[in-house]
Amino acid sequence: MQSYSLTHLPILGLDLMKAGRINHWAAGLAAAALPVVAFAQAAPEPSRPHRWQLNMNRGATLISENAYDAHMIALWICVGIGILVFGAMAYAMFKFRKSRGAVADVDFTHSTRLEIVWTVVPIVLLVAMAFPATHKLIQMYDVRQSEMTIKVTGFQWLWKYDYLGQGVSLTSRLKRESDHIRQSGVVPTMQDHPDYLLEVDNELVVPVDTKIRFVVTADDVIHAWWVPALGWKQDAIPGLVNEAWASVKTPGVYRGQCAELCGKDHGFMPIVVRAVPKAEFQQWLASRQPAPSAAPAPVAADNTNAPAANAQETPAPAPAGAAPNPDAATAPVAG
């Protein structure tokens, strides 16, 4: 019998539930400490967290950088306010302490001048922060002039990606290796499996420096498509199409997860985005596309026409309403 809870945080490299299952405090603590060690040694991925990292990542898109900048502006304003307020308190407590003969002013009621100051200053600060924040929010939702569109569909418990207008579709689900590890009872180490629960069979390949519009929906329950390095999280809701966009600046691998509790395998539907140079992307896309219509009798125009080497990697799109993948349905029972 498998339970699920928010203690599944594989994005942090921790599967606390699995650690708890072996009923051993020391092993649990070791499992929690290992990711920290391993992150420092693992191969560089642009958005991979590193040891003692305190701040958020800058991410790989304009939107994520906007979010980072807004966060830093607010942070430094807060630091300034903190220094002023705690400085004034410390000064007052030291300067006007009782041992130096200070006497409390019991007649003081209010100061109009001070009240104006502490009303106007926060207003100015809020307005000063609201202008750039609004500008960035508007930019975030502006999908005009997109160069391509990818449709993301959430299923229990995998993702389907359609490169709209390109004739390319693929499904992307937790890599079998991660599945086997989690069902074997073995506690995976970050040295052996640095991307445990964050690897998929088919990665979402995208070109860099290309404005990509994502339309996000779901087939069964509400999921959410979230890759932190892209700077946004979008709900995937059956019957609704949400949208967002990304233009990845740096080639690399960016990992994410479903971010909406969507059932017992919610913690096991990772997302892997591989951003590659444009030329490489065109090559990849061509290799996935249906064979060119040299033959005058095209049969079904789907990816079953793709070259055999790739057809093997591309599972058939999950039919709506049916269990999307027999493995997905049976795997957890075994565990």
Contact set with Cu ion (CB under 5 A): 223, 258, 262
- In the complex with Cu ion, which residue's Cβ is closer, 8 or 223? 223
CB of 328 to Cu ion, least distance (A): 11
252: closest CA among 269, 236, 272?
272
129 vs 134: CA distance, rounded Å: 9
Q: At what angle do helices 62-95 and 112-140 cross, to 10 degrees?
A: 160
- In the complex with Cu ion, which residue's Cβ is closer, 155 or 245? 155
- In the complex with Cu ion, which residue's Cβ is closer, 125 or 237? 237
Return the DSSP state at 102.
-
- In the complex with Cu ion, which residue's Cβ is closer, 18 or 223? 223
225 vs 246: CA distance, rounded Å: 13
**Tokens 């970050």 found at:** 190
- In the complex with Cu ion, which residue's Cβ is closer, 175 or 223? 223
CB of 242 to Cu ion, least distance (A): 14
- In the complex with Cu ion, which residue's Cβ is closer, 173 or 223? 223
**For residue 306, what are the CA distances in angstroms to 97, 211, 240, 287, 288?**
82, 26, 30, 7, 6
C-beta atoms surrounding 285 within 10 Å:
16
Phi, psi of 52 (to 5 degrees): 60, 20
H/E stretch holding 67: helix 62-95
CB of 262 to Cu ion, least distance (A): 3
**Tokens 């203690």 found at:** 7
